[in-house]
Amino acid sequence: MAKHILSPLPGTFYRKPAPDKPNFKNEGDLIAIGDVIGIIEVMKSFNEVKTDQAGKIAKFLTDNEEPVMAGQPLLELS
């Protein structure tokens, strides 16, 4: 069974800290508990999405600048 990192709240998901910066993480990267994998923007408030489990990113299930709901899977771990 695949493990997922879920969105903690609804809003717009960003994979980068700024438009001219690289992604926080990419597919194939190893992550540790507490790593930042993206930002969710809600009404001009930006909230870091930190991992609650460790592993290797198999694939992102959410694109950059895509609306997300609370509890929606953002990425899959292998």
CATH architecture of 3-77: Beta Barrel (2.40)
Take residue 67 and report the two structure tokens written for it: 């609306």
Where are the domains positioned within the chain? 3-77
pLDDT at 1 over 90: no
Q: Which residue has the higher pLDDT, 23 or 1?
A: 23
pTM: 0.92
Across all residues in the chain, what is the average pLDDT?
A: 96
**Residue range 35-71, pLDDT digits in tens:** 999 999 999 999 999 999 999 999 999 999 999 999 9
The pLDDT of residue 2 is 82
